[in-house]
Amino acid sequence: MIWHPMTIQRSENSLIRIERGEGEFIYTDKGAKIIDAISSWWTVIHGHNHPHIMDAIRKQTSELDHVIFAGFTHPKAELLARKILNSTKLNNEFSFSKVFFSDNGSNAIEIALKIALQFFRNRNKKTDHKRKSFVRFSLSYHGDSIGAMSVGGDSVFTRIFRDLAFPTKEFQSPNCVRCPYQLKPESCSTECLDDFRKSMEQVSEDIVAVILEPLVSGANGMVFHSDRYLREVRRITQDYGILLILDEVFTGMYRTGSWYAFQKATIKPDIVCLAKGLTGGTLPLALTLTTDEIYSEFDSPDPNKAFFHGHTMSGNPLACAAAIASMEILEESGANQVKSLETKLNLFGNNLLKRLGDRIRDFRVLGAIAAFEVEVELGRDEYLNPVGAKIRKACLDNGVLIRPLGNTVYITPPYNIAEQSLETVFTVLTNVLEKEFTH
């Protein structure tokens, strides 16, 4: 009856029916209690059914359900936009001035790409008309719509549709945990950007924007890169007048320990996309933020310069109320919770390495994310590597929900997960890996 997302239908003939969620737990119709160690696709950052967010939604239902967002506005969207712009400050200065509303991460990306291209069309300086292409990185994932796939890396998610993709220039993604140049942070001069640097010398006038997931390439393997890399990308894009779009759909809302990853790297991008944890996983909402410099090219009496893009449920007041409540929780406890979680994840890594030694590699932690690779034979480090499904099933049988990306195992639990639950996740994962890989 239902066609489930990202699902090999035949392998899912025993779908698990969830009737209730509370905190880090989801409860099945058979009475089983499962720890949601990946925050339900990285969304429920405060756990399920957080009372503060649910109260805010309930309160909003008695005020305004929805209103057309063209030609109309409402207090919750205004308050959310203000709070978001405040949260993006860098060294006490605003990074952005405009917030465009939509309802999922892929849309936030499509909007960013379209704004970037139209910015150059509207500005129409000498060579602006030449800019038609985007720079993407090999391990990036930006969503499943055609535009978002066009700027994503090659993977099982995008491969079939590559013929439909619009023009892009691909460069190798960085990997600062397993540097392909075998460099250490002290000796690194971002050699992995050499190709990009050289290429921009020749074709920068064709490029609209560079798009990347800052600090962590998520869905294509939880691959980390350094602040320094990000700063260098910003420097190069600025030198050539290319826009920098950061996809913070995953990394935003304190995932890496700051409101946004770009603040950790102390850079100001031109456009940022947010979704996932924005409403604490309660309702669909996404935002695309831009600077005044970009917006000023759309702020014109010429109707052809307007941005004619909109989604029916843009600015939904219930979702805005949820996002405001989620931000209030983050303001109060986001930084401390993620810091404490980061410490515990690191300790887990030390113990796991002691127990499993060279059967796992590249254990890494950033904020609320821990990831590592399981050493598998055949060398197929890919999403479809069966080892992922095997580990997932074994963990689930022991009450822990994870979704490895092939042989990359990761957890990103709710920031407020109870100590005891986190210990259970660590124990189950360690035992499963030990059992699976001792013979």
Ligand X SMILES: Cc1ncc(COP(=O)(O)O)c(C=O)c1O
Please give the residue ranges that form the binding site for ligand X (CB under 6 A). Answer: 104-106, 109, 141-143, 213, 218-219, 247, 249-250, 275
CA 342 to chain CA centroid, Å, is 18
> Is there a contact between 211 and 142 (Cβ–Cβ < 8 Å)?
yes
> Is there a contact between 352 and 431 (Cβ–Cβ < 8 Å)?
no
Strand 216-217, strand 207-212: pairing: unpaired
Nearer to ligand X, 286 or 432 (CB): 286
* Closest-approach residue to ligand X (CB): 105
Handedness of CA 152, 275, 310, 131 (dihedral sign): negative
In the complex, what is the shortest distance from the CB of residue 361 to ligand X, in angstroms, rounded to a whole number? 23
- Other CB atoms within 10 Å distance of the CB of residue 307: 16
> Is there a contact between 24 and 417 (Cβ–Cβ < 8 Å)?
yes
Nearer to ligand X, 253 or 352 (CB): 253
**Cross-strand bridge partners of residue 274:** 287
In the complex, what is the shortest distance from the CB of residue 140 to ligand X, in angstroms, rounded to a whole number? 8
Strand (E) or helix (H) holding 55: helix 51-61
Nearer to ligand X, 146 or 418 (CB): 146
Nearer to ligand X, 60 or 251 (CB): 251
Nearer to ligand X, 104 or 175 (CB): 104
> Is there a contact between 368 and 342 (Cβ–Cβ < 8 Å)?
yes
Neighbouring residues of 54: CB distance < 8 A, sequence distance ≥ 6: 282
The residue to which tokens 């932690």 are assigned: 365
In the complex, what is the shortest distance from the CB of residue 77 to ligand X, in angstroms, rounded to a whole number? 19
Nearer to ligand X, 142 or 225 (CB): 142
Question: Angle at Cα 102 formed by Cα 95 and Cα 301, nearest 5°?
Answer: 70
Nearer to ligand X, 43 or 421 (CB): 43
In the complex, what is the shortest distance from the CB of residue 109 to ligand X, in angstroms, rounded to a whole number? 6
**Amino acid, single-letter form, for residue 350:** N
In the complex, what is the shortest distance from the CB of residue 19 to ligand X, in angstroms, rounded to a whole number? 24
In the complex, what is the shortest distance from the CB of residue 213 to ligand X, in angstroms, rounded to a whole number? 5
In the complex, what is the shortest distance from the CB of residue 219 to ligand X, in angstroms, rounded to a whole number? 5
Structure-block tokens of residue 33: 């209690």
